[in-house]
Amino acid sequence: MTEASSDVPTRATAASAATASTTDRADGNGAQATSIVEAVDVHKRFGSLEVLKGVSLSVERGEVVVLIGPSGSGKTTFLRCINHFEKIDQGRISVNGRLIGYRVDAKGNLREERAAEIARQRAEIGFVFQHFNLYPNKTALENVCLGPRKVRKISRDEAEELGRRLLQRVGLEAKFDVHPAQLSGGQKQRVAIARALAMQPKLILFDEPTSALDPEMIGEVLAVMKSLAAEGMTMIVVSHEMGFAREVADRVVMMDDGVLVEEGPPRQIFDHPAHERTRAFLAKLL
C-alpha cells in the first residue's frame, strides 16, 4: 500500500522549509552546534492505519539515543522514515540540515526527490538491521566493499583496503573471505556494522541489532557499538538492552502507539519514569 506518491506533495509549510535552510547555513559555517537529525511532527500511515502520529525528535551530533517501546509502537517505521525507506505523510525530517527524501517546490510544498538524490542522501545514513541483511552470496569483505565501490566509486583496491581495516576494527580479521552462512549471528552483525561504517556515515540507525542473537553473542555486538559511541558516532538505537542503554545512551526515548511518550537520561527513564505507559512497559521487560 502506498501513501504520498512522488507527485503528491506532502503537507508542510514554507516556514518549515525555511528552518531547514537556516540549519544548513549554520552548519556550513561550522560555527554552531546543530542537530544531525531533526524530525518534526512526522506522521506515517499504512493505508488507514496511522503508525506515526506526530513524532518530533532532535538528535545532536555525537549523541546516542536509545529508543524503547512495545512491539508495534512504530519504532522500526520511525527509523525507516529517517533514511527514507518509508515516505512520510506529514511533517519533515532533515539530516545534517538537509531535508531527507524531499525538496521544497516553488509553492513551498514538499516533493519527493529523485531516486539518485535519495540514494546519495541514504549513503550518509548507516542502517543496521535486526536480521543483518547481508548478501548471502558475497563474502564478508565483499559485503563491506560493495557500497563504497558502487556509491562512492572508489577503486577495488581502495575499497578492499577499507573493508579489511573495518573488518579488523570489528574483530573479524580472520573472516574476510567467509560467506555469511559460515558466520555466527554476532559475527554477521559485526560485518553489517563494518558495512555501515564503510560509507562513512554521519549517523547510524540500529534497529534491534541484538534481538536476533543468541545471548552469548549479544556482548560482542554491544561492545562494537560502545566503541563507536566512544568515538563520537551519532547513533539512534532501538534496543531493550538496559545495561547498554544505561551505560551508553545520552538519552532514552519511550515510544508507544505512534507517539513519543517521554524522554530523558537513562537513569531518569528507567528508575523514575514519569508516565504510566513507560512504567507498564518497563515492568514487562524485567
What is the Cα–Cα distance from 33 to 155, expressed in whole angstroms? 34
- x/- site string to Mg ion, residues 178 to 217, per CB under 5 A? ----------------------------------------
Dihedral pair phi/psi, residue 53, rounded to 5°: -115, 40
Residues 37-76, one symbol each (x = binds Mg ion by CB under 5 A, - = not), give --------------------------------------xx
Tell which positions 71-110 bind Mg ion, by CB under 5 A: 75-76
Name which of 76 and 121 has its Cβ closer to ligand ADP. 76
Q: Which residues of 144-165 are buried (b: 16+ CB within 10 A; e: fewer)?
A: bbbbbbeeeebeeeebbebbbe
Instruction: Pick what 72 binds: ligand ADP, Mg ion, none; C-beta below 5 to 8 Å, kind-dependent.
Output: ligand ADP
AA letter at 72: G
Say if residues 163 and 107 touch (Cβ distance below 8 Å). Answer: no
**51 touches, from Mg ion, ligand ADP, none (C-beta below 5 to 8 Å by class):** ligand ADP
Nearest distance from residue 282's CB to ligand ADP, in Å? 15
Which among ligand ADP, Mg ion, none contacts residue 143 (Cβ within 5 to 8 A by kind)? Answer: none
CB of 75 to ligand ADP, least distance (A): 4
Structure letter (DSSP) for residue 171: T
| CA separation for the pair 221, 128 (Å, rounded) | 11
Q: Which residues bind ligand ADP (CB under 6 A)?
A: 46, 49, 51, 69, 71-77
With b for 16 or more beta-carbon neighbours within 10 A and e for fewer, the 242-280 pattern comes to bebbbebbebbbbbbebbbbbbbebeebbeebeeebbee
Q: Which does 232 bind (CB under 5 to 8 A by kind): Mg ion, ligand ADP, none?
A: none
Q: Closest residue to Mg ion, Cβ-based?
A: 76
Judge whether 57 and 242 are in contact, CB under 8 Å. no
Least separation in angstroms between residue 16's CB and ligand ADP is: 24
Please say whether the beta carbons of 207 and 128 come within 8 A. yes
Residue 159 grid cell: 575499497
As measured in angstroms, the least distance from the Cβ of 76 to Mg ion is: 3
Quote the least distance from Cβ 79 to Mg ion, whole Å: 8
Return residues touching Mg ion (CB under 5 A).
75-76
